[in-house]
Amino acid sequence: MKLKIAPLLLLALILFIVIVFSTTIGTAHISFATAAKIMLAQIFSIEKNWSMREETIILGIRLPRVLLAALVGAALATAGCAMQGLLKNPMADPYIIGMSSGAALGAALSFTLHLPTSLLSFITATITIFAVYRISKVGGRVPVATLLLSGIAIGSFLAALTSLLIYMARSPHQIIFWLMGGLWTSDWPKVKIASLMISLGIILLYRYSWNLNVMLLGEEQAQYLGINTEDVKRGVLVSSSLITAAAVSVSGIIGFVGLIIPHIMRIVTGPDHRILFPTSTLAGATFLVFTDTISRTILSPIELPVGIITASFGAPFFLYLLRKQGKKIHA
Amino acid sequence: MLKIRNLKVCYGKREVLRGVNLDVEEGELLGIIGPNGSGKTTLIRAITGVIRPEDGRITSRGKDLSSWDRKTIARHIAVVPQSVSIDFEFTIEEIVLMGRTPHLNGRENPEDYEIVRNSMRETETVHLKDRLITELSGGEIQRVIIARALAQEPEILLLDEPTSHLDIRGQVEVLHLIKKLVKNGITALAVIHDLNLAAAYCDRIALLYNGQIMAHGRPESVLTRENIEEAFKITVTVEKNKSNSTPIILPEVIKN
């Protein structure tokens, strides 16, 4: 499997351009060149020919949001890719085994109890995945079908509790907005924590690329080829849960990215996770930066939850690809 | 080479293998025959440690396999599983390269590609290298899966009904290929449903019945009318192939 570097470089370049471009958009007009220079000046030494105000708008206000969008998009697309590969299920996304319901319950609790939302949703999401994994374990093995079903069962249970909290809440719109997903609470501390956890989890997942490829042939065959499939399952679940929980805790439940980006990349690159993972990461980041920019500008000064944009722009595009490709879609 | 002693395997409460004793000699093709549900596939799973036996010992060149980890076993024993269907668009070269998995430490190197090329040459699949696995015929896929097994550089090859989904030409080609590999030094154990093909190609045959080895030895000593009638519960006549005197089994045709 010779790796193709060219598409990766191209996607990285597109991501950079979209990031810079997104920071130029907003009420105050700042040119693309100025925005690019302000950002590059953080790394290289560039002669300063812009105002302090422009620098504050780019670095203090717009950049953390754009970077957080990139991180969340990267996390969801990579985790979705891992779950689809592991479960061999084209319906799989990062939330499939109950992650979103766990996080949502934590967020709903945090609004009721006035506790930090990010922290609480991260904790409940992690506990949920841990519980689903333990419940699915039969005699040292975790059958994929059991994992899926117990994830769905626990997810429904937690969703019921969340609905109850919303119903009883004094200001239910807070919880509902959070559930729709959005990046309006972005700041640098969130960017720092999320980038640490998400890059760690993504690197861990990349290490399983080869084993995930072999496991696509079937678990028994993978075992015959010397892979300890239970170790791979545990490792992939832990890493993708880490990055999904990190993403959800800073942005709420943004749908669609984790489901569709890996499918689109699979159509382009084929099933090899060694190229599929990095392209999904970059495309997910680009996609969410792009859609978040639309969500904050399309009805300006009103801001839409980004989840509405990801689905309403992404779904038709995906359907177009599906028809054009005319192929069966696999995980 | 491979010695199986008093092997017992249960699925839940059901005892599938009830004290199997079997020796596979170095450089032979041993055929395993037996009715459906007699434990043939279970035997392969137990040898590779994919399922844990209840009791018994499996040794290869005197070494106990139960203490080996997955990787070590996969470097020593390769399996060609029953009916492989792969829905994912990997190229043939990629599929065969997966056979290098137990040897890889990080990325594959040119030596791995050399071994992949040799495995493909031996199985006559080189020309399929860049085709997708989803486009191949059953016989071609089987040869590719055998190439993948060879890329593991195993000493022992286990084949689970390698011919059962193939037409008669495919069956003969695959068995011929296995025979060639055995001649080149590999030791093979193959589960084969077709008694006549087993008789024609195997050096020795073991008849598995009711979780135990009912008979084993040269094809003509195992494939007797009494053995077959008892194990398969049908009436047969056994004749001799004129050219090489291997047995030919003709089932009595049931007429209504």
State the average pLDDT over residues B188-215: 94
User: CA geometry: angle at A303 spanning A297 and A306, to 5°?
Assistant: 90
A233: distance to nearest CA of chain B, Å? 15
From the list B223, B241, B220, the residue with the least C-alpha distance to B231 is B223
Q: Which of B98, B112, B189 is the best substitution to test chain A (most A C-beta atoms within 10 A)? A: B98
At A265-299, the pLDDT tens digits run 998 888 999 999 999 999 999 999 999 999 999 88
Tell me B254's DSSP state. P
Number of residues that make up chain B: 256
Please name the residues in contact with A117: beta carbons below 8 A apart, sequence gap of 6 or more: A106, A107, A110, A111, A178, A249
Max distance between CA atoms of chain B, in angstroms, equals 63
State the average pLDDT over residues A130-145: 91
| The pairing of beta strand B204-209 with beta strand B212-217 | antiparallel
Give me the half-sphere count of Cα atoms (radius 13 Å) on the Cβ side of residue B73. 26
Q: Is the pLDDT of residue A331 over 70?
A: no
Q: Is the pLDDT of residue B178 over 70?
A: yes
Q: Is the pLDDT of residue A312 over 60?
A: yes
Of B50, B74, B87, the CB nearest to A330: B87
Mean predicted lDDT score pLDDT of chain B: 92
Which of A137-146, A272-281, B27-36 comes out lowest in average pLDDT?
A137-146
B251 vs B164: CA distance, rounded Å: 18
User: CA geometry: angle at B192 spanning B191 and B195, to 5°?
Assistant: 140
pLDDT at residue A1, as a whole number: 45
B177 vs B192: CA distance, rounded Å: 15
pLDDT at residue A272, as a whole number: 93
Q: Which of A88, A208, A219, A224 is the best substitution to test chain B (most B C-beta atoms within 10 A)? A: A224
A79 vs A260: CA distance, rounded Å: 12
Of all residues in chain A, the one with the smallest CA distance to B100 is A225
pLDDT at residue A313, as a whole number: 80
From the list B206, B236, B237, the residue with the least C-alpha distance to B222 is B206
Chain B positions with Cβ closer than 8 Å to A: 45, 48, 50, 69-75, 78-79, 81, 84, 86-90, 93-95, 97-99, 101-102, 104, 108, 152
Give the CA-trace dihedral at B87, B91, B95, B98, to 10 degrees: -120
Q: Is A210 on the interface with B (CB under 8 A)?
A: yes
From the list A72, A317, A309, A314, the residue with the least C-alpha distance to A180 is A309
Give the CA-trace dihedral at A66, A71, A73, A75, to 10 degrees: -170
Cβ–Cβ under 8 Å, residues A108 and A175: yes
Cβ–Cβ under 8 Å, residues A142 and A136: yes
B22 vs A197: CA distance, rounded Å: 53
pLDDT at residue A191, as a whole number: 95
Q: Is A213 on the interface with B (CB under 8 A)?
A: yes
A61: distance to nearest CA of chain B, Å? 42
A228 vs A283: CA distance, rounded Å: 31
pLDDT at residue A294, as a whole number: 93
B154 vs B157: CA distance, rounded Å: 7
With cut-offs at 50, 70 and 90, classify the pLDDT of residue B82. Answer: confident
Cβ–Cβ under 8 Å, residues A162 and A95: no
Q: Is A272 on the interface with B (CB under 8 A)?
A: yes
Q: Is the pLDDT of residue B230 over 80?
A: yes
Question: How many helical (H) and strand (E) elements, i.e. helices and strands, does chain B have?
Answer: 9, 12
Of B88, B97, B101, the CB nearest to A1: B97
Q: Beta partners for B4? A: B22, B58
| The pairing of beta strand B55-60 with beta strand B63-64 | antiparallel
Residue B186 or A170, more confident: B186
SS3 B61: coil
Q: Is the pLDDT of residue B172 over 60?
A: yes
At B69-79, the pLDDT tens digits run 999 999 999 99
With cut-offs at 50, 70 and 90, classify the pLDDT of residue A329. Answer: low
State the average pLDDT over residues A117-129: 93
With cut-offs at 50, 70 and 90, classify the pLDDT of residue A325. Answer: low
CB-count exposure of residue A108 (10 Å: 0-12, 13-18, 19+): buried
Of A224, A228, A272, the CB nearest to B94: A272
Mean predicted lDDT score pLDDT of chain A: 91
Q: Is A330 on the interface with B (CB under 8 A)?
A: yes
